[in-house]
Amino acid sequence: MILHSRVPPHFFPRGKQTTILEMGLKQLLPSQWMIVDEDSPVFLRHKLEQKQKRPSQIYQALPTSKEAQDEFKYLLEKHLITDHRFHRINAGKLTNPKFDLDLNYSEADLWSTSLWVQEDICLLEEIENKYVLTAASVCSPSNWDLPSKIGKPVSEIHKPVPGYRDQMSDKVDRLMRNLKTDRPVQRLNWSIQPNGDLYWKTGSSDHEKIEQKNYWRVERQTLFRMPETKAIVFGIRVFLHSFSVMSKFEGFNDSIAAIIESLPAEQSAYKNLL
């Protein structure tokens, strides 16, 4: 599904960027954990569409993740009602009249709960001193394959990222070990995407059918430690805007040109700049 976003760009490129390997963390208030905005109905339709098209590609969960899934449902429901004016009604539904959302909340699995929000959701649990992906609902992948990642530690999941093992792996592991409950953090990750499809995976049928036009893709990535299971919720909210839209903002084209010139070739290729 193409995202014709109704919200403005969330992040602009920074010229003279010499590496993509930056943490760029920002502390969030608990009330800022998830985003609910005008694009919510689009993401809901997209997730339901992907579940029909490729169920095994967009949702995976280990049996041992049940407790973390249950806690995530409880905390997310509380967050949406308290901070985003959702309403719980007797027929087993959550509603948000502002954005015309009518959501079932009777099921507790991560897939069902992930439909309540725009974010893709990954659950990371500590197993033998490593944080492992134990459950995930990822309908808008950034050119990666969920089935090959489930049950793997974070360091292995990020293997394809140039320089990650040497420059970032220890920092990320330290961040996850030290993450406090009720103190979510955010980072922003960007790419140049060759189409506006939320499901971005090279070789997918959706990808091949779409006219190749560059899009500025930004992921708002959040990390939140749950208090009971201590599992970490990794949320990914995707923003997509075409270059024709982004070029109207002063400095965008110059910044992209500067980044292409500054980044190492391997990192430029990974970000789809070459």
Query: What are the residue boundaries of the structural domains of the chain, listed by start?
Result: 26-270
Please report, for residues 52, 59, 66, 270, the alpha-carbon distance to residue 139 in angstroms, rounded to integers and kept in the order given.
11, 8, 20, 21
CA distance 68 to 123: 8
Give the residue-averaged pLDDT of 118-137. Answer: 96
Q: By percentage, how much of the chain surpasses pLDDT 70?
A: 82
210-246: pLDDT as tens digits: 456 889 889 999 999 999 999 999 999 999 999 999 9
pLDDT class for 21, splitting at 50, 70, 90? Answer: very low
Q: Is the dihedral of CA 223, 152, 116, 215 positive or negative?
A: positive
How high is the pLDDT of residue 23? 57
How high is the pLDDT of residue 74? 93
Q: Is the pLDDT of residue 273 over 80?
A: no
Please report, for residues 144, 232, 234, 254, the alpha-carbon distance to residue 185 in angstroms, rounded to integers and kept in the order given.
23, 11, 10, 30
Nearest by Cα to 57 from 121, 154, 122, 136: 136
Q: Is the pLDDT of residue 3 over 70?
A: yes
